[in-house]
Every structure is written in structure tokens, then in C-alpha cells.
Amino acid sequence: MKPRILLLALMIALLAGCSTRQPAPVVERASPDASRPVVAPQKPAEPTTTSTPASKLHIVQKGETLIAVALQYGLDYRELAAWNNIENVNLIHVGQELRITAPAVVIPTAPSSVVATPLQSTGVPVARPIDAPASGTPDAAGGLVKTGPLAVKVPYSDKALADMEAEAKAGVTGAVSPAAPLAPSTPAASVAKPDEERVDWAWPAKGRVIASYTDANKGIDIAGTLNAPVLAAADGKVMYSGTGIRGYGKLVILKHNSVFLSAYAHNQSILVKEGQDVKKGQRIAEMGATDTDQVKLHFEIRKLGKPVDPAKLLPAP
């Protein structure tokens, strides 16, 4: 009787153990398709976004015009308009942010393409370069790790492997140095060259200086008679002519180089056009009293956009 009870208890224990055993996991593995190449997925390049530093922006204030902002920074107003996608140079609004430096030109790098041939059932494919020397670095086992971005897959064979290793070793010994990165562009007016500091200045008009340079005046005032000649103070090009700055009347601005500008204000009439080359002593306007209370010439010299005292640069009267 006891053996039967023991046997029955043993069978119950065995049945309980079988009921708690977990089934083995089943993983379905798709058989490789020999007719299709296997290409590793590539993460798409994220677009590069750039922001303009606050130091390179000008916030438009009440009463300012694009011409006035350009003069303030020693810029051509047409370039300033182009940098900020402004079609109407007479239309800017208070609070508008204006870029005062040329935008950097970013040349996108074309993504590398991979040409692949179908995998053959004869063996493992071997990567080989397309129209470019192989490049690589030795691994711990003495082989080569391929680094070239362009590759084509060919069937495995001893000859193909030997050719690949020979080409890779040649690529290590004769690797071409990478091209140096492009230096960021710098506005021409940001650095003054020694030769550009030397401008042969001359007085722009005959008459008595009735107002000297101050931080508020930004130049000198020369008294004269109506329609008296106003002369170019140095060789240059007419960067602006018109009435785009309040308080200056009929104005002419000459650009002498990437460092110096000169401005001639309150003219009765203007005799030159924008873009015209002028010589020192050439008659560019006639003295007047536009936007002021008396006949005079207001004359400014600006270095990198900042007003400087003309008396320190002009020859002794």
C-alpha cells in the first residue's frame, strides 16, 4: 500500500513541474533574399540653421531711414537693402531688425551615393571603391577598415579580397590630404589696411568754418554763397545722392575705399549720379540751404562708419 502511495505522490509532483515550465521562445528569422542588396539606412542630414548675433543687427529707431542706417555703419544702402531683402529702400519701420553685415554663404555638401549590385549566392560581397582610390586604416588584426564613402558590392573570391587589400594599402600610403575648410567671410570694411588709411584729402569748399566737429555735429560747417561750388574732397565713387536723411537736405556721399566715406549736405543742387567715379577737386554739387537755416556746406568724414574730425585729416587751410 505504501509503495502505491509513494508512486502516486511522485506522479503528482512530476505533473506539477511540467505545468509550470515556460515554453521555449520561438523567433522567426526571414531567409535572406539573395536578389536584393542590403544597404544600411542612413540618417538624413539635418538642416543647418544660423542666427545673426545681436551685435550684427541694427534696430530701426523713430525717424531713421535706410540711407541713415547705411551712413551710420559706412555701408552702401543698396547692399544693406539686399542683405535684408528690402525691395523699397524708402520703406522701413520702427523696431525692424536690419542685418549690418553680409550674410555668410554656406555651400552644402552633396551626400555620397552608394551603388550596390545584388548579393550573389556564391559568397559574401566585398566592397570596392568607384572611380576613387581606396582609403582605410589598419585594424587590430592587420586588415583594413574601409572608410571611403562610395562602394560597390562584388561576389567574394580570393582574388577580389586580395585586390581589395592591395588597393586599401595603397590608399593608406598615398592618401590625399583633406581640403582646408573655408574661412568665414569678413566684411571688407571691418579691417583697415595701411594703404587705405592714406587718403589725399582736400577742402570741399572755400569759406569760413562756422561750426567745428562735435559728437552732436559729426562734422564741420563751412559758410559760403548760394550755388558756390562743392568739390570732392578725394577720389572716390558716388555712393548716394538725394534727400534720404532728415536734416541733411540734398546730400552727396562719396565712398573713397573700404575705410573712408565723405558726406556733403544742404546742397542747392547735385551734379553727380550714384555709381559715378569722381576725382579730387571735381565739382559735385552747389552750395545751398536745403533743410537748414543758412547757406552752408555740412561736411563729414567717416572712418568705418564712425564720424571723425575732418580738421585732423584736411590740409591746413
Mean pLDDT value of segment 49-54 = 60
Query: H-type helices in 24-137, by residue range?
Result: 66-72, 77-83
Is the pLDDT at 19 greater than 50, yes or no? yes
Quote the CA–CA distance of 301 and 250 in Å, as a whole number.
17
DSSP state at residue 63: T
Mean pLDDT of the chain: 76
Tens of pLDDT, residue by residue over 116-133, are 555 454 455 545 544 544
Domains recognised in the chain with CATH numbers: 54-99 (3.10.350.10), 126-171 (no CATH), 194-312 (2.70.70.10)
Is the pLDDT at 176 greater than 90, yes or no? no
Helices (H) and strands (E) in the chain, counts: 4, 16
- Computed from CA positions of residues 270, 274, 279, 280, in that sequence, does the dihedral angle turn out positive or negative? positive
Tens of pLDDT, residue by residue over 269-295, are 999 999 999 999 999 999 999 999 999
**Model pLDDT, residue 177:** 45
Is the pLDDT at 172 greater than 90, yes or no? no
**pTM recorded for the entire structure:** 0.58
Concatenating the DSSP letter of every residue in 194-244 gives GGGG------SS-S-EEE---TTT-SEEEE--TT-EEE-SSSEEEEEEES-
Quote the CA–CA distance of 157 and 38 in Å, as a whole number.
19
Q: Which residue has the higher pLDDT, 198 or 135?
A: 198
Mean pLDDT value of segment 226-254 = 96
**Model pLDDT, residue 189:** 43
Is the pLDDT at 181 greater than 60, yes or no? no
Q: Which of 4-13, 93-102, 154-163, 236-245 has the highest mean pLDDT?
A: 236-245
Q: How confident is the model at residue 63 (pLDDT cuts 50, 70, 90)?
A: confident
